[in-house]
Structure 1
């Protein structure tokens, strides 16, 4: 049994955030045909309704997240995890199929704007902590070979070995990347504003039902907040 814990250094910046923590077991993530292609197609097509305004920063969803990212140190160009997907889809460059699990959570993110992170649970060392970095914590991004340590004051996810996600959940670490062979997954999704919580919970329910229906997995959803800053997972 391990813990997913949010440290006081994070709550000092974002006391209103609520985070869904989802464990997925017995996942079958191999066959692309498991997930109806129309699910991702329809999500891409609906982005213009979610963020109709120009420039993109004029949309409340994007504005609120950009304001949040101003509260801590970030890498140049870092945005919240879904902004780039939304921007691409709105410009007519739809998000393409990657693997069944990613397709399912990308479809939810495109439809609702909520970021969803996923780590291979079997590759996590110990527990997961969301905290403000002291600086120098080890990190190597997916697709990179050279380490790029965390900055002092940067919001990070980390396990007992190193950083698992940079700049909140902007970029994940190569070491804990999910693949089509991943069998157990730890997922998390942040709800930035209290007024978004009902929509967020509905989105997480839809996500877990789809994972169970299309990928044959079992799921468990828990929530952390300022009043309940830690949950256990296995």
Structure 2
């Protein structure tokens, strides 16, 4: 068993955030055609309704997240995890299939706007934290070979070995990346403001239902907030 804990330094900046912490077991992430292609197709098509306004920053979803990112140190160009997916889909460049797990959670993110991060649980070292970086914590992004350590004042997810997600959940570390062979997953998804909580819970229920239905897995969902900042998973 391990701990997932949000540190006081984060709550000082974002006291109203609520985070779903989902554990997935016995996942079959090999593509056997089990995820209906229409799931991702329909999710891509729904983006125009989710963020109808131009410019994109005029949409409340994008505006609230951009305002949040102004409250801590970030890499240049960093945005919340779903913004690039939403922009692509809205411009007619739909998000393509990657693997069953990613397709399932991308479909939920595209339809609802909630960011969803997934790490291979068997690659996580020790306990997980959401915290504010001191600076210099080690990180190498998926698809990169060069280290890119955290900045002082940056919001990060980390385990005992270093950063697992930069700039909140903008980019994930290569060493904890999920693959076709991943069977046990840690998923987290943030609800930024209280007004979105009902929709966030519905989105998480949809996510876990589809993971269980299409990927043969079992799931457990827990939530952390300022009053309950830690769970065992």
TM over 0.5: yes
Say which SS state the counterpart of residue 34 (structure 1) adopts: coil
Q: Deviation at 1:202?
A: 0.4
Tell me what 2:205 maps to.
Answer: 205
Aligned to 1:42: 42
User: 1:32 Cα deviation (Å)?
Assistant: 4.6
Offset from partner CA, 1:121-175 (integer Å, 9 cap, x none) = 0000011000000000000000001100000000000000010000000000000
Partner in structure 1 of residue 107 of structure 2: 107
Question: Which residue does the alignment assign to 1:195?
Answer: 195
- Alpha-carbon shift at residue 31 of structure 1 (Å): 1.7
Question: Counterpart of 1:180?
Answer: 180
Whole-Å separation in 2 of the counterparts to 1:77 and 1:69: 10
TM-score (norm 2): 1.00
Matched residues in 2 for 1:7 and 1:182: separation? Answer: 28
Could you tell me which residue of structure 2 aligns to residue 88 of structure 1? 88
Matched residues, number: 233
- Per the alignment, residue 16 of structure 2 pairs with 16
Alignment of 1:1-234 (within 5 A): 1-233=1-233
* Equivalent pair of 1:32/1:99 in contact (CA under 8 Å): no
User: Aligned to 1:54, what secondary structure does the other structure show?
Assistant: coil
CA distance, structure 2, for counterparts of residue 177 and residue 32 of structure 1: 21
Give, in whole Å, the separation in 1 of the partners of 2:73 and 2:162: 18
Structure 1 outlier segments of 4+, above 3 Å: none
Contact 1:26 1:216 in 2 (8 A): yes
| Aligned partner of residue 46 in structure 1, secondary structure | helix
Q: Which blocks of at least 5 consecutive residues in structure 1 are unaligned? A: none
- In structure 1, how many angstroms separate the alpha carbons of the residues matched to 2:134 and 2:164? 15
Q: Secondary structure at the match of 1:28?
A: coil
State the alpha-carbon separation in 1 of the partners of residues 32 and 216 from structure 2: 13
* Distance in 1 between residues matched to 2:204 and 2:181, nearest whole Å: 23
CA distance in structure 2 between the aligned counterparts of 1:98 and 1:61, rounded to whole angstroms: 25
Structure 2 CA distance, aligned partners of 1:135 and 1:108?
33
Give the root-mean-square deviation of aligned CA atoms.
0.4
Query: What is the CA–CA distance in structure 1 between the aligned matches of 2:134 and 2:127, rounded to whole Å?
Result: 18
* TM-score normalized with structure 1 length: 0.99
Look up the SS of the partner of 1:144 in the other structure.
coil
In the aligned structure 1, how far is the partner of 2:81 from the partner of 2:188? 12
- Cα distance in 2 for residues equivalent to 1:4 and 1:207: 20
- State the 1:60 CA deviation: 0.2
